[in-house]
Each structure stands twice: as structure tokens, then as C-alpha cells.
């Protein structure tokens, strides 16, 4: 049973560019959440997708957008990259019920130069 997978594992971009990160949830899971984790900090909630819709969002600008596909996989898009977007991006999947237990992927480490 495959766990949560994310791609790519590492990425280097320059300021102003756009990036797309991908996540495949754990088998059977229908809910995907995205988190940003800056170095030395705890993860910060970006948004959550369920039934292909964003249903809750953290304090992140509109430059951060996402999508969920019918197979429950998800993408995180970040436009107009800033140096401060450099972080580990984590995807977590869960069932709608119970939704408290999240399974995290290994993350994508993004470096913006």
C-alpha cells in the first residue's frame, strides 16, 4: 500500500518564476492538505482540497493556488516566486471521516534564488 508521494523531491527556481508541485494521496484517501515549512519552523497550513474544491485556506496570498483531480491527486502552484517562498512543501492526505489523522508525504524542497 503506497503512502503519500510527492514530486519532485528538490527544485531550484529563480525569483518571478512559477512552480508546480505534485502530490498523490495514500490509497483510499480523498482529502489533501498542503503545508509550507520554513527552515527551523513548524509547518504552516496553506489549504485543503476535498471533492476537487478548496474548502479551507490559511494565511497565504493568491499566488498560491491548487487543484485536485478526480483521482484525488493534487497540485500546488506558486506564481511570481519570492525568495521567502524557499521552504519544504508538505502534502498530507486523510479520509473525510475521520479526518484528524493525516499522513504526510516526504515533501518537496524548493529553493528560490
Partner 1 sequence: SQQGEEDPQALSIQEGENATMNCSYKTSINNLQWYRQNSGRGLVHLILIRSNEREKHSGRLRVTLDTSKKSSSLLITASRAADTASYFCATSKSAGTYKYIFGTGTRLKVLA
Q: Which residues pair with 109 in a beta bridge?
A: 10, 88
Task: Give the nearer residue to partner 1 in terms of CB position, either 66 or 107.
Answer: 107
Give the interface segment with partner 1, choosing from 10-18, 21-29, 66-74, 84-92 (CB under 8 A): 84-92
Shortest distance in whole angstroms from residue 26 CB to partner 1: 12
Burial 79-110 (b: 16+ CB within 10 A, else e): eebeeebbbbbbbbbbbeeeeeebebbebbbb
- Is residue 60 near partner 1 by the rule CB under 8 A? no
Give backbone dihedrals phi and psi of 30, rounded to 5 degrees, phi first: -115, 0
Cβ–Cβ < 8 Å for 91, 33: yes
- Is residue 55 near partner 1 by the rule CB under 8 A? yes
Per CB under 8 A, the list member of 90, 93, 110, 112 interacting with partner 1 is 90
* Residues within the interface to partner 1 (CB under 8 A): 4, 31, 33, 35, 37, 39, 41-45, 48, 50, 55-56, 58-59, 88, 90, 92, 99-107, 109
Amino acid at each position: 500500500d503506497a503512502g503519500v508521494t510527492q514530486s519532485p523531491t528538490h527544485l531550484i527556481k529563480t525569483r518571478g518564476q512559477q512552480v508546480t508541485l505534485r502530490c498523490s494521496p495514500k490509497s483510499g484517501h480523498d482529502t489533501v492538505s498542503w503545508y509550507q515549512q520554513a527552515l527551523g519552523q513548524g509547518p504552516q497550513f496553506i489549504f485543503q482540497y476535498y471533492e476537487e474544491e478548496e474548502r479551507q485556506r490559511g494565511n497565504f496570498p493568491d499566488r498560491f493556488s491548487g487543484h485536485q483531480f478526480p483521482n484525488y491527486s493534487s497540485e500546488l502552484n506558486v506564481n511570481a516566486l519570492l525568495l521567502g517562498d524557499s521552504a519544504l512543501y508538505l502534502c498530507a492526505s486523510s479520509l473525510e471521516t475521520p479526518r484528524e489523522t493525516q499522513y504526510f508525504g516526504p515533501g518537496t524542497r524548493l529553493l528560490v534564488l
